[in-house]
Amino acid sequence: MKIVVLDGYTTNPGDLSWQSLRKLGDLTVYERSSEESILERSRDADVLFTNKSLISGDTLRCTSRLKYIGVLATGYNNIDIQTARKLKIPVCNVLGYGNMSVSQMVMAHILNYTQRVAEHSNGVHSGDWGRAQDFCYWKYPLIELNGLTMGIIGLGDIGKTTAKLAQAFGMKVIACVRNRNKIPPEGVKWLDLDKLLTESDFISLHCPLTSETKHIINEITLKRMKATAFLVNTGRGPLIDEQALANALNENRLGGAGIDVLSEEPPQNLSPLYNAKNCYITPHIAWATLASRKRLIQMAVGNLESFLRGELKNCVYT
């Protein structure tokens, strides 16, 4: 059985092993695959793994041996699912591998903002502390999280983990979900979106990207938020209208933002958020801790092992 990984570098840049996958067949791992090379590299594969490489309908129709597609991620919008279904090629993704890592990044952005860690460290290195008249100094207000309100939009597994971390800091947690008939987790209160935006000191986005949620943060919803609020996005870039957010930050209508995802990745064009006030941008790394990536590989291999036993695990269509 020929197994091909089209873009293995982001999942494993060399600090992990592909050995568990290699045991299952003749394995070829490409660090990256250009759009032009994907068809040739896929043509004779029995099994394909992809993270973000595009697997089009044309590619699928030209891969006569292909029996299985494994996604080294949760999202699978880079694969023509309709064609895969017609050709009866299962597409199996990985769920839950990065819950703690992504939630940890949410809190990292929040703590960076409330303590201004980077700015104070830079100030120390530039001599500001040494020139201070007192034993300590601070350049920005320092914010305690205890008693403040965390609003979470979308309370799936990552949202629930984020809620627990926020509660550990003594924060009140409110959430907006599609189905408010479900019983909320302990200590979490359901609110509609407008109420959540109005009451939250911090807002974290964890909803999936759909036609309904695209630009859920926009000029109108930003106006409903507190001028002191801090927004975090570790979900998908298009959840935010970036120009509207930049305007709100630059006009002091929002306290700050911690952004791990952008509408264009990697950003070839200058996002309006690059020069926005109090906007901290990390390069889509919330998911990428060593522990998270290790789980990702283990779970992806487990999906394939289930398929080889005649079972389908985490197939994205029925």
Catalytic, out of 119, 224, 284, 305? 284
Amino acid at residue number 251 = E
Catalytic, out of 41, 116, 236, 293? 236
Active site residue 265: yes
Residue 311: phi, psi to the nearest 5?
Answer: -115, 150
Give the whole-angstrom CA distance, residue 116 versus residue 309. Answer: 52
3-state secondary structure of 181: coil
C-alpha 80: how far from its chain's center? 21
Q: Write out the two tokens for 210.
A: 């759909």
Which ranges of the chain would DSSP assign to H, the alpha helix? Answer: 19-22, 35-42, 57-61, 81-86, 99-115, 117-125, 157-168, 193-199, 219-224, 242-250, 290-308
Give the whole-angstrom CA distance, residue 198 versus residue 188. Answer: 16
The residue whose two tokens read 């299952």 is 24
Give helix 99-115 / helix 157-168 axis angle, nearest 10°.
Answer: 40
3-state secondary structure of 6: coil
Active site residue 206: no
Give the whole-angstrom CA distance, residue 255 versus residue 227. Answer: 6
Asked whether the beta carbons of 68 and 21 are under 8 A apart, the reply is no
Catalytic machinery residues: 236, 265, 284
